[in-house]
């Protein structure tokens, strides 16, 4: 569970943080939590929620503290707004910036979905929740760990086959389809809607190519895919209905 909290005054200043409260039930859960902490403490990027610390109040609990983002998940935004393709393009481009940075550190998120993409009230987009993230060893760019949310895993990931740094791109294609209101088939893959532009269709199809032909985050951004070029500005995301402030 994640809670909002204020820190104790430091030099007269109080900060607001998000506290991820985790109960340790097994040795494996403890190792998983510290794996998440070790990954997050490496990361400093504008499109990734900032890690600020971790404490263990007792033997059965760990609290991870993160910079608080005043805004909403993209899942919540979709409940209050109809996102246009320009909004979706902006969100996808910002997520790609974060994924490109993760790839430089040989890290894969493995849980890209609307609940884990945050948008602040100023229009900043952040990747959150590194609970099942993985990091490749130098020189080894494939793995066959299996896990993650049903319907959001790349086919090779879901099947327990080898995957690589482009595994999150498949989920990004699904994210673009869901945020833009595209219908899905029984396997949760995107099916083009009548109102969807050809550039969005091409973007989703490219993201959901087989692993061997699926691009990396860097390839999608350099040069930018034509869909990303229609992205709105941060100020346009900031105009969306976020609901009441907490």
What amino acid positions are annotated as catalytic residues? 111
Task: Give the distance from CA 65 to its chain's centroid.
Answer: 18
Are 48 and 193 a contacting pair, CB within 8 Å? no
HSE-CB of 85 using CA atoms within 13 angstroms = 16
Distance CA 36, CA 134 (A): 9
Question: CB-based burial of residue 130 (10 Å sphere; 0-12 exposed, 13-18 middle, 19+ buried)?
Answer: buried
Q: Which residues contact 154 (CB under 8 A, 6 or more apart)?
A: 163, 167, 169, 170, 171, 211, 214
Q: Compute and round to an integer the Cα radius of gyration of the chain.
A: 18
Cα three-residue angle 119-46-226, rounded to 5 degrees: 75
Could you check whether the bond before residue 194 is cis, i.e. omega within 30 degrees of 0?
Answer: no
DSSP state, residue 115: G
The DSSP output letter for 113 is S
């Amino acid at each position: 569970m994640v809670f909002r909290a204020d820190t104790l005054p430091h030099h007269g200043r109080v900060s607001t943080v998000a506290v991820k409260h985790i109960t340790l039930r097994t040795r494996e859960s403890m190792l998983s939590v510290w794996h998440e902490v070790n990954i997050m403490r490496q990361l400093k990027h504008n499109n990734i929620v900032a890690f600020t610390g971790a404490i263990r109040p007792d033997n059965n609990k760990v609290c991870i503290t993160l910079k608080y983002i005043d805004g909403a998940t993209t899942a919540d935004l979709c409940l209050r707004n109809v996102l246009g393709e320009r909004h979706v393009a902006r969100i996808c481009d910002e997520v790609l910036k974060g994924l490109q940075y993760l790839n430089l550190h040989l890290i894969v998120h493995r849980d890209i979905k609307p609940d884990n993409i945050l948008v602040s009230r100023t229009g900043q987009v952040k990747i959150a929740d590194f609970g099942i993230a993985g990091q490749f060893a130098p020189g080894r760019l494939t793995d066959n760990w299996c896990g993650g949310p049903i319907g959001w895993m790349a086919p090779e990931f879901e099947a327990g086959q080898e995957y690589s740094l482009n595994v999150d791109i498949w989920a990004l294609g699904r994210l673009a389809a869901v945020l833009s209101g595209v219908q899905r088939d029984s396997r949760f893959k995107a099916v083009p809607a009548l109102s969807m532009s050809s550039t969005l269709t091409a973007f989703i199809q490219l993201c959901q190519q087989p692993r061997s032909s699926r691009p990396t985050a860097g390839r999608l951004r350099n040069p930018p895919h034509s869909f990303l070029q229609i992205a709105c500005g941060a100020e346009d995301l900031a105009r969306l209905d976020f609901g009441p402030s907490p």
